[in-house]
Amino acid sequence: MVEIDHGCKCPGNPLLPQICKVIKITEETPDVKTFRIQTLDGKKPFTPLPGQLAMISVLNVGEAMFSLTAQGDDWIESSIKRVGFLTEALHNLFEGDLVGVRGPYGNHFPTEELKGRDILFVGGGIGLAPVRSFIRHAIAHRKDYGELDVLYGSRSYGDLVFKEDIFDHWPKACNTHITIDIEEDGWDGHVGFVPSYLEEKAFSPEGKAVVLCGPPIMITFCLISLAKMGFSKENVITTLEMRMKCGVGKCGRCNIGSKYVCLDGPVFTMAELEDLPDEQ
Amino acid sequence: MNDNLAKMREAAKRALESGDVGYVIGWGATKFPDKTSPLFMRKPEDAERLVWNEYAIPGIAKYLLDDLYPDKPIGVFVRGCDSRAINRMMKDNRIKRENLRLLGIPCDGKDDERCTICRNRNPLVYDELLWDEAPTPEPKDRYFRANAVEAMSADGRYAYWSEVFDQCIRCYACRNICPACNCKECYVDMTATGFQGKQHSRSDNLIFGVTRAFHVGDRCIECGECERVCPMGLPIMGQTQKILKDINELVGDYESGVDAESENYLGVFDLDDKDEFM
Amino acid sequence: MKIKKDKFKDALASIAKEAKVFLPMKGVYASEYRVWDGAGEPFFERNTALPPKELLFPRSERMYEYDLNAGTVTEAAPDEKIVIAGIRPCDVRSVEHLDKVFLESEYTDVYYRARRENLTMIAYGCATPAPTCFCDSMDVVPTDAPGADVVMNDAGNSYVLTVNTPKGEHIRDLISSFLSEGKADDVPAVSCSLKVEKPDDLHKQLIARFDDPMWETLSDACLGCGCCSYICPTCYCFDIGRENRGKTGTAFRCWDSCMFSDYSRMAGGHNPRPTKKERLRNRYLHKLAYFPERYGTSLCVGCGRCIDKCPARLDITNVPDIIQGSESNG
């Protein structure tokens, strides 16, 4: 059973962005870019906890909520898929361009509560982005955790995000299992969907918590697989996505039942979600 | 209970019992004697909840757009205005005649100012007529709002429309009730495009007002529902009345929705159009 | 403490010297709380078409200016003193609810706080509820408003005043020359004709019936417009947008409605509340279940505006009726 903190911490006027600059842009896939962001005086805008969110704006276009995937001493990073007007505008930015940033919003992954336990991270497509912050944290505090497994899949090799991490960095500290949906030339790794790969791997539920994030259809089937494998809903953690405007539980739209994803989430256990209305 | 209501309940019940229709749309009571609410009857016994009185005012044809691919035809009671709404939506290729089972009910006029300009109390399209037609009384001035505005100076008109649209809260009730406002997706809801600013300002409110009026344009069926539903009581029929008045003065007698075939006057592309104004 | 009705405007004029005074007034088209110009008559017979929330939570509100050339954002700070004279007890309660959201929850909203601190409410005890009013079923006393700074009640040719707060004392001092001693003859009790019976655990029962077919029936006639949300004194959902001029512009927030299709639609097109059924259910549940769960009180104050103005005559009181099993089918 994992206890999740549902408090959100964001100082000052939470609706006012700081102007920051994009100091590095990494093209992860044809439609995903990672933006490294810093204040104008070269500092970290704020220090998010793993799993927390930020409102990122192209000030003259609009703003939206994104998960923060990584942070350093003087930067934060978010990986963003191009799906609409704002993300298109973000993808058109160059290094050195200005963005607005406010946050951090929402709760965070249970980094403390899971100390000493084994963790299985399961990601699909861009769904690895929110999980990455936790994986990086776990690796940085490697001795605090038991066995770490990362199982990640995408449609094709080209669609795999964070290739340096999953192929070079992470295998040094955890077991990585990478799969793509359909066979392709030059790929000699695993082929198949994430849920079936999960069952193939036959992870033992003993003492293990699962952090699961990906497209809804993948989540649905992974939950079936995890249940078959003996994982209880209390030990499966996920992050939710809803449309957001304010980030602090006021503008209304990201509610699921009486919970606001921006404030009480985005991190929930599957057991908690089961108690909420089915409206995602 | 009046005879006509008995006939309506009987017709709804018969249609639902026969299984020929999925449901029937009419009017039901509310907790308030002077208000009726659109009623969706799904079971034969629901027909007992039907009401028909001087407050059976709300337009009900627009709900057909909520169910474009029904399993069975939808039964609808049609007064003159509802029938014009249905013709309008059929002409605009939004609904199909074979999906409709139209129960014609000649209207006796309702307790509403807008009904005083009604030109068609009798339904113009129906499958069965529940009682005999009666002539529509001589309507009051068809362009009563537009005439009042035309009489103003240009500055007066600007002041007038500014005052009207300063009050608009942009709830879009006028759009949602209007059978001519039947776009699959309204430009207003495409917020990311920036066509319609979401800010409440005179300019954004006027942009909405003008766009609505011109897009409804010659397709307005003159039911007046836009004004009835406006929570701020704004006299917005003046806009579409002016367009209809100009058409009638320039090209002759024209009414929208009297059938589902006649061409529109505006919104038609014609290579031979002289475009004299350009 | 009493004030003669024929001195009421003189008293308002004294207040208007230091604050903007809003009165319920008839407009050309609809009644609302309007800036008093020194002459206009108050409209006390019916509640206003538009609620007073506009004064605390404007339809459109400037939040900050941005300048991408200079790399700056400049925060707006509203600082206008406002006195509402004649706000009804249902609307006073609505302000208390908005306070919960904008002041007392996890985050304080700086724009709302600035307006709220500058607001003084003089309530007008309601003597004439409309047929659609049901505030006394929602724990509001039509003739009293504990949340207001001053309460005034009609007593024939004068108003009786009760001061509740330091802000109220300040108002009393401003208008002291027009006041005379006098206690309220007992204010006659007022009762709404529309009564709503609801179980204590209404919110729990509603959530338990999240998948009930009743939502389909309730939303049949809904047109999906935003009328109910915009005229509701407690609907506080907003959108954030910007008015852009090249590299500079203004970020604003404006009223939004959960009844609109765009409201919860995500980039990429997925909408967790795709039809009017889900949207109306969310609106009703927000009022009657989610807000009580989160803030411990119903978000509906029983002002009846939505019942009166809904184009399709939807009636929120049908929801508790269904739960009570007493749905009237006419």
- Do residues B124 and B68 share a domain? yes
Closest CA of chain C from B274, distance in Å: 38
Contacts of A110 (CB under 8 A, 6+ apart): A2, A3, A4, A5, A237, A267
Residue B176: inside a domain, yes or no? yes
Minimal Cα distance from C69: which residue of A? A98
B97-115: average pLDDT: 92
What ranges in chain C are assigned the alpha helix state H? 8-16, 89-102, 110-117, 166-174, 202-208, 214-219, 227-231, 276-285, 291-295, 305-309, 318-324
Distances (CA, A) of C156 to C7, C28, C127: 14, 28, 12
CB contact under 8 A, B231 and C27: no
CA A162/CA A160 separation, integer angstroms: 7
Closest CA of chain C from B120, distance in Å: 23
ipTM, two decimals, is 0.91
pLDDT in tens, A38-96: 999 999 999 999 999 999 999 989 999 999 999 999 999 999 999 988 999 999 999 99
Q: Hey, what are A212's tokens?
A: 């699961």
Residue B250 has pLDDT above 80, yes or no: yes
Residue B137: inside a domain, yes or no? no
Q: Which chains touch A (3 or more CB pairs under 8 A)?
A: B, C
- Nearest by Cα to A253 from B160, C255, B236: C255
CA C39/CA C298 separation, integer angstroms: 38
From chain C, the residues in CB contact with A19 under 8 A are 66, 71-73
Residue B153: inside a domain, yes or no? yes
CA A133/CA A151 separation, integer angstroms: 15
Q: From the candidates B5, B172, B189, which should be mutated to test the interface with C, based on the most C CB atoms within 10 A? A: B172
Minimal Cα distance from B192: which residue of A? A85
Q: Contact, A114 vs A145, CB < 8 A?
A: yes
CA C41/CA A264 separation, integer angstroms: 48
From chain A, the residues in CB contact with C258 under 8 A are 252-253
Q: Hey, what are C250's tokens?
A: 């203004």
Residue A108 has pLDDT above 70, yes or no: yes
Element (H, E) at A224: helix A216-229
pLDDT in tens, C107-136: 899 999 999 999 999 999 998 999 999 999
Read off the pTM. Answer: 0.91
* pLDDT bracket for residue B278 (50, 70, 90): low
Q: What percentage of residues in chain B have a pLDDT greater than 70? A: 99
Assigned fold of A18-105: Elongation Factor Tu (Ef-tu); domain 3 (2.40.30)
Q: Hey, what are C56's tokens?
A: 């605390």
In chain A, helix, strand, coil percent, each to 5? 25, 30, 45
Give the pLDDT of residue B1: 54
CB contact under 8 A, B39 and C194: no
Of A183-197, B149-163, B186-200, C132-146, the least confident:
B186-200
- Nearest by Cα to A247 from A43, A87, A13, A78: A13
Q: Which chains touch C (3 or more CB pairs under 8 A)?
A: A, B
From chain A, the residues in CB contact with B192 under 8 A are 62, 84-86
Distances (CA, A) of B163 to B1, B71, C28: 45, 47, 9
Domain of B226, in residue numbers: 144-251
Partner residue opposite C266 with nearest CB, options A10, A243, A257 = A243
Give the pLDDT of residue C330: 37
CA A99/CA A55 separation, integer angstroms: 10
- Nearest by Cα to A45 from A20, A13, A70: A20
Q: Across the strands, what pairs with A18?
A: A101
pLDDT in tens, A202-260: 899 999 999 999 988 899 999 999 999 999 999 999 998 888 888 888 998 888 888 99
From chain B, the residues in CB contact with A85 under 8 A are 192
Q: Contact, C246 vs A60, CB < 8 A?
A: yes
Helix axes A194-201, A216-229, angle to 10 degrees: 20
Establish if A84 touches chain B: CB-CB under 8 angstroms. yes
pLDDT in tens, B60-96: 999 999 999 999 999 999 999 999 999 999 999 999 9
Instruction: Give buried/exposed letters for B202-229 (b at 16+ CB in 10 A, else e).
Output: eebbbbbbebbbebbbbbbbbbbbbbbb
Q: Sign of the C-alpha dihedral, residues A133, A139, A140, A146?
A: positive
At C191, phi and psi to the nearest 5? -130, 135
* Domain residue ranges of chain A, discontinuous segments joined by +: 18-105, 118-239
Q: Which residues 43-72 of C have a C-beta within 8 angstroms of A?
A: 63-64, 66, 68, 71-72
- Do residues B165 and B235 share a domain? yes
Closest CA of chain C from B173, distance in Å: 5
Q: Hey, what are A107's tokens?
A: 């709760």
CB contact under 8 A, C291 and A258: yes
State which of B79, B104, B129 marks the end of a domain. Answer: B129
Establish if A158 touches chain B: CB-CB under 8 angstroms. no
The class that CATH gives domain A118-239 is alpha beta
Q: How many CB atoms lie within 10 A of CB A280?
A: 14
Residue B38: inside a domain, yes or no? yes
- Tokens 């061409």 belong to residue: B263
Closest CA of chain A from B133, distance in Å: 49
Establish if B268 touches chain A: CB-CB under 8 angstroms. no
- Do residues B46 and B91 share a domain? yes
Q: Contact, B101 vs B75, CB < 8 A?
A: yes
Q: Across the strands, what pairs with C251?
A: C64, C242
Q: Contact, A23 vs A79, CB < 8 A?
A: no
Instruction: Give buried/exposed letters for A233-242 (b at 16+ CB in 10 A, else e).
Output: eebbbbbbbb
A166-177: average pLDDT: 94
CB contact under 8 A, B173 and C217: no
Residue A111 has pLDDT above 70, yes or no: yes
Q: Contact, B118 vs B81, CB < 8 A?
A: yes
Task: Look at phi and psi of residue B194 and say left if phi exceeds 0, alpha if psi is from -120 to 50, else beta.
Answer: left
Counted domains in chain B: 2
Residues of chain C with pLDDT under 50: 326-330
Residue B85: inside a domain, yes or no? yes
CA B85/CA B180 separation, integer angstroms: 7
Tally the C-alpha atoms within 13 A of residue A193's C-alpha that lie toward its C-beta.
11
- Do residues B119 and B56 share a domain? yes
Contacts of A107 (CB under 8 A, 6+ apart): A4, A5, A6, A7, A8, A51, A52, A264, A265, A266, A267
CB contact under 8 A, C246 and A83: no
Of A276-280, B43-47, C58-62, the least confident:
A276-280
Q: Work out the mean pLDDT of chain B and round it to a whole number.
A: 92
- Do residues B160 and B124 share a domain? no
* Domain residue ranges of chain C, discontinuous segments joined by +: 2-57+78-180, 202-237+256-324
Residue B97: inside a domain, yes or no? yes
Residue B11 has pLDDT above 50, yes or no: yes
Task: Look at phi and psi of residue B19 and say left if phi exceeds 0, alpha if psi is from -120 to 50, else beta.
Answer: left
